[in-house]
Amino acid sequence: MKSRRAKVLHEVCGVAMLEHVLQTAETLSPSRLAVVVGRDADEVQKRYADRAEFVLQAEQRGTGHAARVALAALPELSGDVLILYGDTPLLRPETIERMCAAKRERAADLLLLSAHAPTIPGILVRDAEGRLERIVESQDATPRELAIPERNTGVYLVSAKLLREGVESLAPHNAQGELYLTDVVGHAVRHGFRVETMLVEDAEECLGVNTRRELAAASRVLRRRIVERLMDEGVTFVDPDAVYIDAAVRIGRDSVIEPGVVITGRSRLGEGCHIKAGCVIEDSRIGNDVTIGPSAHLRPGNELASKVKVGNFVELKNSKLGEGTKAAHLGYIGDADVGAHVNFSCGAIVVNYDGYKKTRSTIGDHAFVGCNANLVSPVEIAPHAFIAAGSTITKSVPTDALAIARDRQRNIDGWVARKEGRAPARAPRPDAGAEAREMATVVQAEIAPATGRRRRRRPPPGRRR
């Protein structure tokens, strides 16, 4: 993998490979669950210490040696032992359940999972009556044996008694002293144990991951499974091959997912949602009938109630949005508790970071945040408050209040001409006090609707009644 990270901790659709394998094993409710670790043992054990027992394989001497080390650490183990691989994340729980049923029905001492997969090196060679005779590695096989499609996946369900006997009989295969688990199968055949095979229906389940290319291949397979499962549950994908949905994501029925959408982590989407093209949703919870996008970004920690609308180029982070709230375009809401039916106009920003720490703001129900307004956290905007466009709000705003925090416009006559070194155009001399009257008109227009009555206008400076 050429990585500083342990191989089994590389993720397939947002979940570590070992996590996929553990989840599959846990569906059987095993009495013991042991993970054999070698390199990067501390990293793996730290993450899964509460999920399994760990056995250290100090020397990496092959799969047979790993099984021998595990059995030595579990001396009282009895019954059947299921052997899985931490870098084979696509095996379905249903396949394991079928293996258990097949072993019981056939009274087998060892059941081997096989696949029609020519890329797997272990070739299953059978006798004239179809019984498994031996397993031959590709490099040692004859041309006739290489033509055999059935291969050994390395997944075994075997009695603990046979496994102990088999691993103790293993001998090294090379100068490195490696012991191969496949030799346990040969031992069982030679000593008269009942060995059976079960052909996996989908060979992709047994895809192992040793390289970045194989990691990408496994991710493609699992992404397809995820999308197919969601479609079976009532979710529409406009282009099923053009979305990236993590394994732990859940989406309610009648939702529509457009191309280019990425939904990661443990995100939860309710019913009837519409996620438009180019959206990224990370570890967020979304209610019913929510519309997001196109090209919106929900960073981790968001909770959106039903009928929320988040439009294009809006970013949310660790925020709560109440029912019916809208942030239709071009804004940022970070670390905020937003009530119901709030309107965030274009360019509105919750300024949650002061360069040292992040703080939260609260916006009450039915508040209106005008275009290009900045809410500098921590600040509280009460219900039904109105923030005028272009305002930078640093103090709390009470209920039903209009908050205006912006400089009065000032026109500097002739500034451009002087900058360009030319004579300024002659403009008509403005009426004295026109600027003051204009400001009074603006204030009256913004305040009067909220109060329901007209305010008496003061005479401009320099005028007397």
- Residues 181 and 170: their CA atoms lie apart, in Å, by 8
H or E segment to which residue 126 belongs: strand 122-126
Q: At what angle do helices 17-26 and 93-106 cross, to 10 degrees?
A: 40
- Residues 390 and 404: their CA atoms lie apart, in Å, by 8
Q: What is the DSSP letter of 291?
A: E
Tokens at 79, concatenated? 């019954």
Residue with tokens 């394989």: 57
Q: At what angle do helices 63-73 and 182-190 cross, to 10 degrees?
A: 80
Give Cβ neighbours of residue 71 (< 8 Å, ≥ 6 apart). 77, 160, 163, 164, 167
Give Cβ neighbours of residue 208 (< 8 Å, ≥ 6 apart). 85, 87, 88, 214
Catalytic residue among 329, 341, 366, 384: 329
Tokens at 17, concatenated? 């490979």
| Residue ranges with strand state E in 233-324 | 236-237, 244-245, 250-251, 256-257, 262-264, 268-269, 274-275, 280-282, 285-286, 291-292, 297-298, 303-304, 309-317, 320-321
- Residues 256 and 264: their CA atoms lie apart, in Å, by 16
Tokens at 450, concatenated? 């909220």
Where residue 407 falls (left for φ over 0; alpha for ψ -120 to 50; beta otherwise) is beta
Catalytic residue check, 187: no
CA-based nearest residue to 211, from 452, 7, 353: 7
CA-based nearest residue to 62, from 180, 209, 210, 184: 180
Q: How many CB atoms lie within 10 A of CB 27?
A: 12
CA-based nearest residue to 3, from 299, 201, 215, 223: 215
Q: What amino acid positions are annotated as catalytic residues?
A: 329
